[in-house]
């Protein structure tokens, strides 16, 4: 009688150990990979601003520098800072082409990996009736402590009774927010800025530093330059009494130090304007005569002089027709004797296409969230809108430990965003089951 051959027990046990070791190793490797992929580029404090029946702006931080895009309404929206710096810690997206009274699910695509969540939803409000108010702008410039333009930053503007507003800062350090096409808090009518009322401004710089200042609605055109890490107070009494970082705070102090170059700040090149009576403004050397040429169905020519701060502004004498337009500003440089000029093109939309800049439909005047990270995304340190370390104790009391940026932040309590993939864990586990069964039978 032949004796049945079996693999020795010690060999079977050895096979089991190898299977368990390989499975455990691959599981840990996948966990580490997924953790790095999700934590490093997971969005912190998503801010929804400038929401209208046609458009919305969305911004947030990431713990690390990442290349981020936004997927919404079957379109891929690029980060506004991507052309300046392909990978950044702050991100800003401008979405157009939406429909009124509609909800849109969006996806954040970070370093090529999708981050999804059931709460990533934007709902547009109804279209407002009535004509758009006359042009009214808040604009200014963000500069670094070395007086150079801050090329990557986000400015959040909070005015009482207004819906949340924001603007990304251009490579020249400029920002602007069209107040005339902003909603009130309830989004029941256009927002009309009150006169001589304090407003809160928060500037989020490229490294996540937050600079807080208190401005005034009567001093928005333009807002004095904001110095990252120092700030300013545009309140007249504070300007007389305050020093920030041993630097006298006066509205003209940055202007006196640097001669401004010829530039058109509003409109941006290729911008779609929702008003037929836009206000044009920009910068130029102080006191020069500027020639203005507005190329439209009818051409308009004019001459103005830049002010002592190197700013200029001009409005068309009549409403512009919908369609393509271009604006050319030129002057004769007295130092070089050469003519300098700049041209920017823009599109005026028809009345029914107005995509203004207003704020989140879910924003409420109470229970206002602060700019802090959502706990379910990543255990990174909490970011609050607080005075920077360079702010001095003598600053105006408006620089409080936290500031309420009245923006909608989606709740993430219901679900953690899905990131990474589980195949490297699932596959070894499935393969290990028959190996374990065979090993047990051979014992």
Residues 8 and 301: their CA atoms lie apart, in Å, by: 98
* pLDDT on residue 442: 61
Band of residue 319 on the pLDDT scale cut at 50, 70, 90:
confident
What is the per-residue pLDDT across 8-22, written as a single tens digit (0 to 9) for each? 666 666 666 676 565
- For 180, 229, 238, 310, 388, the CA distances from 144, given in Å and listed in that order, are 29, 8, 21, 19, 13
What are the tokens at 114? 């999708």
Beta bridge partners of 442: none
Residues 347 and 326: their CA atoms lie apart, in Å, by: 8
Q: What angle do CA 151, 154, 156 make, to 5 degrees?
A: 150
* pLDDT on residue 58: 95
Widest Cα–Cα separation across the chain = 115
Residue 427's contacts (CB-CB under 8 Å, 6 or more residues apart) are: none
* pLDDT on residue 388: 39
Is the pLDDT assigned to residue 198 strictly greater than 80?
yes
Residues 186 and 57: their CA atoms lie apart, in Å, by: 18
* pTM, entire model: 0.57
Q: Looking at 66-80, 132-146, 164-178, which range is the least confident one? A: 132-146
10 Å CB burial of residue 304 (0-12, 13-18, 19+) is: middle
3-state secondary structure of 39: helix
Residue 166's contacts (CB-CB under 8 Å, 6 or more residues apart) are: 47, 49, 50, 57, 59, 154, 155, 156, 157, 177, 407
Mean pLDDT over the full length of the chain: 73
Q: What percent of the chain has pLDDT over 70?
A: 64
Nearest Cα neighbor of 206 from 341, 368, 64 is 64
Is the pLDDT assigned to residue 60 strictly greater than 90?
yes
Q: How many residues does this entry show for the chain?
A: 443
Kindly report the number of other CB atoms within 10 A of residue 392's CB atom: 13
What are the tokens at 338? 């050469």
Nearest Cα neighbor of 403 from 136, 199, 184, 196 is 199
Band of residue 365 on the pLDDT scale cut at 50, 70, 90:
very low
* pLDDT on residue 345: 92
Instruction: Scan for tokens 């039978």, then name that residue.
Output: 441
Higher-confidence residue of 328 and 391: namely: 328
Residue 321's contacts (CB-CB under 8 Å, 6 or more residues apart) are: 276, 296, 297, 348
What is the per-residue pLDDT across 201-222, written as a single tens digit (0 to 9) for each? 999 999 888 999 999 999 998 8
Nearest Cα neighbor of 113 from 56, 59, 36, 60 is 36
Conformation bin of residue 303: beta by default, left when phi > 0, alpha when psi is -120 to 50 = beta
Is the pLDDT assigned to residue 354 strictly greater than 50?
no
Band of residue 356 on the pLDDT scale cut at 50, 70, 90:
very low
Instruction: Scan for tokens 């006196």, then name that residue.
Output: 256
* pLDDT on residue 5: 52
Q: Looking at 288-302, 319-333, 341-355, which range is the least confident one? A: 341-355
What is the per-residue pLDDT across 209-257, written as a single tens digit (0 to 9) for each? 899 999 999 999 889 999 998 888 444 333 333 333 333 333 334 434 4
- Check if the beta carbon of residue 396 is closer than 8 Å to that of residue 242: yes
Band of residue 142 on the pLDDT scale cut at 50, 70, 90:
very high
* pLDDT on residue 201: 94
Residues 127 and 54: their CA atoms lie apart, in Å, by: 8
What is the chain's alpha carbon radius of gyration, rounded to the nearest angstrom? 28
Q: What angle do CA 364, 370, 372 make, to 5 degrees?
A: 135
Q: What is the DSSP letter of 95?
A: E
């Amino acid at each position: 009688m032949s004796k049945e051959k079996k693999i020795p027990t010690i060999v079977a046990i050895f096979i089991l150990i190898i299977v368990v070791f390989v499975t455990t190793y691959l599981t840990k490797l996948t966990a580490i990979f997924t953790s790095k992929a999700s934590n490093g580029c997971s969005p912190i404090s998503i801010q929804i601003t400038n929401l209208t029946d046609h458009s919305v702006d969305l911004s947030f931080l990431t713990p690390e520098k990442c290349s981020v895009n936004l997927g919404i309404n079957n379109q891929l929206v690029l980060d506004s800072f991507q052309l300046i710096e392909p990978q950044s810690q702050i991100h800003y997206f401008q979405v157009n082409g939406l429909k009124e009274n509609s909800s849109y699910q969006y996806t954040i695509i970070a370093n090529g990996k999708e981050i999804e969540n059931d709460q990533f939803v934007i709902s547009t409000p109804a279209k407002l009736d009535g004509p758009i108010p006359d042009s009214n702008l808040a604009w200014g410039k963000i500069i670094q402590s070395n007086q150079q333009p801050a090329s990557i930053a986000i400015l959040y503007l909070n005015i009482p009774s207004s819906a949340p507003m924001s603007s990304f800062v251009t490579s020249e350090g400029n920002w602007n927010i069209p107040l005339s096409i902003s909603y009130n808090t309830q989004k029941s009518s256009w927002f009309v800025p009150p006169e001589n009322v304090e407003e809160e401004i928060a500037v989020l710089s490229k490294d996540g530093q937050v600079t807080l200042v208190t401005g005034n609605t009567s001093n928005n055109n333009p807002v004095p330059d904001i110095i990252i890490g120092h700030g300013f107070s545009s309140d007249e009494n504070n300007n007389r009494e305050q020093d920030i970082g041993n630097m006298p705070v006066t509205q003209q102090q940055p202007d006196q130090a640097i001669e401004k170059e010829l530039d058109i700040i509003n409109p941006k090149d290729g911008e779609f304007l929702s008003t037929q009576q836009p206000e044009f403004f920009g910068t130029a050397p102080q006191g020069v005569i500027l020639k203005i040429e507005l190329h439209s169905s009818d051409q308009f020519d004019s001459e103005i002089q830049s002010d002592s701060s190197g700013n200029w502004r001009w409005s068309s004498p009549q409403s512009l027709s919908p369609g393509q337009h271009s604006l050319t500003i030129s002057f004769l440089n007295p130092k070089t004797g050469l003519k300098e000029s700049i041209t920017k093109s823009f599109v005026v939309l028809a009345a029914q296409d107005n995509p203004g800049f207003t704020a989140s439909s879910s924003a409420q005047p109470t229970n206002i969230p602060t700019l802090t990270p959502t706990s379910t995304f990543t255990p990174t340190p909490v970011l609050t809108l607080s005075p920077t370390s360079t702010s001095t104790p003598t600053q105006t009391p408006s620089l409080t430990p936290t500031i309420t940026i009245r923006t909608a932040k989606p709740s993430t309590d219901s679900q953690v965003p899905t990131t990474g993939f589980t195949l490297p864990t699932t596959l070894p586990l499935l393969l290990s089951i028959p190996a374990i069964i065979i090993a047990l039978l051979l014992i």
